[in-house]
Amino acid sequence: MDLSTTYLGFKLPHPVIVGASPLVDDLADVQKLIDHGAAAIVMHSLFEEQIRLEQEGTLLATETIEDSSPEALSYFPKPDEWRMGPAQYLAQIGKIKKAAGRTPVIASLNGTTATGWLKYAKQIQEAGADGLELNVYFLATDADETGERVERRTLEVLQTVKQSVKIPVALKLSPYYSSIANLARKADQLGANGLVLFNRFYQPDIDIENLEAVSTLKLSTSNTLLLRLRWLAALSGNVQASLAASGGVHTAEDAIKAVMAGAHAVQVVSVVLKEGASAIGKIRDGMEKWLTEHEYKSLQQAQGSMNLQKCPDPAIYERANYMKILATFKYK
């Protein structure tokens, strides 16, 4: 069975890649991911705040200004709490690339503005990264800022980076834009090599006894995939950029669904954190078995086979299913 796919221009033996996670901090863990067949590895993000703090006089110097900073730097991790600073991040790229061999290594930048720090992308390229994922993590809570301005900021980030590097650039989106299809098309026109659906914002909880917000981290489940399937199916065939599902792929069946909806690659993190690196091989082997049993000749034959281009009027299809679910639901 031919499971090969093309993502960001890379010819991969199969679509299962490791998404951004702390697994890249330890080279022993990286080696396990490679040994178990990861088709590509995405590093966790280097944050805009880390770069800005370093530019202001190194991470260690921030302790003298953190409580007085108008940008509320005290909300951010202390210098020794970052997994690695910008210099260490660049060095880690080289180490991982050496261990990975021909396996593509994709670095990640996480920010909200198209300022000079994005030129750091050049150094990521020079450090040996094969590609770059832009993780535009921004929660629009300012009532005076329009949705158009929020989207323009995202596109400015993409445009700035694309002008800075020659390696492929993927844009990791959140599901909260008002018109994902329009934004995706504009990103495609600006030369995005890939679109990753979706970023998961970590939702704070409230401690009602101590009256404070509490950080929480809940790993994804297969149910998380459903929103990704909707938008993969909507974008598939309408953009030139590669599409990747991020969030909710835990089984071979999940991966097959994502590919049928239009994904060229599926990013796995939570299942690897839960089950270990062997989960990569299980998903890959399960995909091969399913496709063989259902008489597919290749993964490419399944790719995009369930996208909304196959439906004459996707809007009517979606609305009809919505009404059918509501009309046929029975309360026990």
CB 223 within 8 A of CB 251: no
Q: Between 82 and 96, whose confidence is greater?
A: 96
Question: For residue 299, what is the domain's CATH number?
Answer: 3.20.20.70
Task: Return the pLDDT at 52.
Answer: 63
Output the pTM of the full model: 0.88
Instruction: Count other Cβ atoms within 10 Å, centred on residue 71.
Output: 11
Q: Is the pLDDT of residue 4 over 60?
A: yes
pLDDT tens-digit readout, 11-48: 999 999 999 998 999 999 999 999 999 999 999 988 76
Q: Between 303 and 114, whose confidence is greater?
A: 303
CA distance 168 to 97: 16
CA distance 63 to 76: 11
What is the arithmetic mean of pLDDT over 106-124? 79
CA distance 318 to 302: 21
Task: Return the pLDDT at 64.
Answer: 43
If one counts the domains in the chain, the total is 1
CA distance 261 to 228: 9
Cβ-based neighbours of 45, under 8 Å, separated by 6 or more: 20, 108, 109, 110, 135
CA distance 123 to 126: 5
**Structure-block tokens of residue 106:** 């994709």
Note down the domain range covering 190.
5-328
Q: Bridge-partner residues for 5, per DSSP?
A: 12
pLDDT tens-digit readout, 57-76: 544 444 444 443 444 444 44
What is the arithmetic mean of pLDDT over 118-131? 90
52-61, 73-82, 117-126: which has the highest mean pLDDT?
Answer: 117-126
Among 113, 200, 107, residue whose Cα is nearest residue 158: 113
